[in-house]
Amino acid sequence: MRADELAANLAAVRRRIEVACESAGRDPGEVSLVVVTKFFPASDVRLLADLGVTDVGENRHQEAEAKAAECADLGLRWHFIGGLQSNKAAAVASYADVVESLDRAKLVGPLSRGAQARTDATGVAAGVDVLLQVSLDPPGTGHRSGAAPAELDPLAQRVEESETLRLRGLMAVAPLGEDPAAAFARLAAIREDFVREHPRATVLSAGMSGDLEAAVAHGATHVRVGSAVLGPRPAVQ
């Protein structure tokens, strides 16, 4: 049964996080699991919530919007982890509790407006948590997703000016074809500088199914795990 499969995979991933924390001398309570449910149906999200998952990640706006609506009764925290288009950013901020992929100043306005529309049960503006996505690609590489490290400070300032966005920290993906430990070591140094300027922005979202141990060793507070929990995704993305 799907529920048993998800339960077993989830237990194995939680165990991996614990072991990684032990090796790094960290408290496992410091590392949160975000289960990436992209390409999988809302029924899986429901099973995951039953298994104690509190945070889910999605990377495509339309799919995320539909699933968040279908699962609105579950009280989950929705993380948007995909590339953001400026014409979709306001809509994303209307259902995502955490936007992890803010990588350019142009997105701050629409995200703020989208977040403005959200209110909690008492009608108070609820706001949206934001992580800045930093690129770990070597400089000069053609397409990068994520801001260059030097762009983080001005971007953070723009977020801090917004009344509805809360700057929480950084997100990164290890580049393909490089040892993730080397990439996450660079990330740890970038984060150290960043937190010095923005002492409350302590979240570090890094590590996926294949490299969560390396990310935990380099200070990740959130790991985003998809296939190790849900199984392989369809090949076309």
* Pick 39 or 194: Cβ nearer ligand PLP: 39
Please list the residues that pair with 32 across neighbouring strands. 222
The stretch among 46-54, 67-75, 151-159, 207-215 that binds ligand PLP (CB under 6 A) is 207-215
Q: Is 146 left (phi over 0), alpha (psi -120 to 50) or beta?
A: left
Stretch that binds ligand PLP, among 20-28, 66-74, 148-156, 222-230 (CB under 6 A): 222-230
Q: Name the CA dihedral angle for 174, 176, 177, 180, rounded to a multiple of 10 degrees.
A: 20
Least Å distance between CB 209 and ligand PLP? 3
33 touches ligand PLP by CB under 6 A: no
Question: Interface with ligand PLP by CB under 6 A: which range of 11-19, 113-121, 160-168, 221-229?
Answer: 221-229
Rounded distance between C-alpha atoms, residue 117 and residue 114, angstroms:
6
Beta-carbon neighbour count of residue 22 at 10 Å? 12
The correct pick among 81, 147, 206, 220 for binding ligand PLP (CB under 6 A) is: 81
**Do residues 38 and 59 make contact, with C-beta atoms less than 8 angstroms apart?**
yes
Q: Is 208 in the site for ligand PLP (CB under 6 A)?
A: yes
226 part of the interface to ligand PLP, by CB under 6 A: yes
Determine the Cα–Cα distance for residues 192 and 174; give it in Å rounded to an integer.
17
Binding of ligand PLP by 135 (CB under 6 A): no
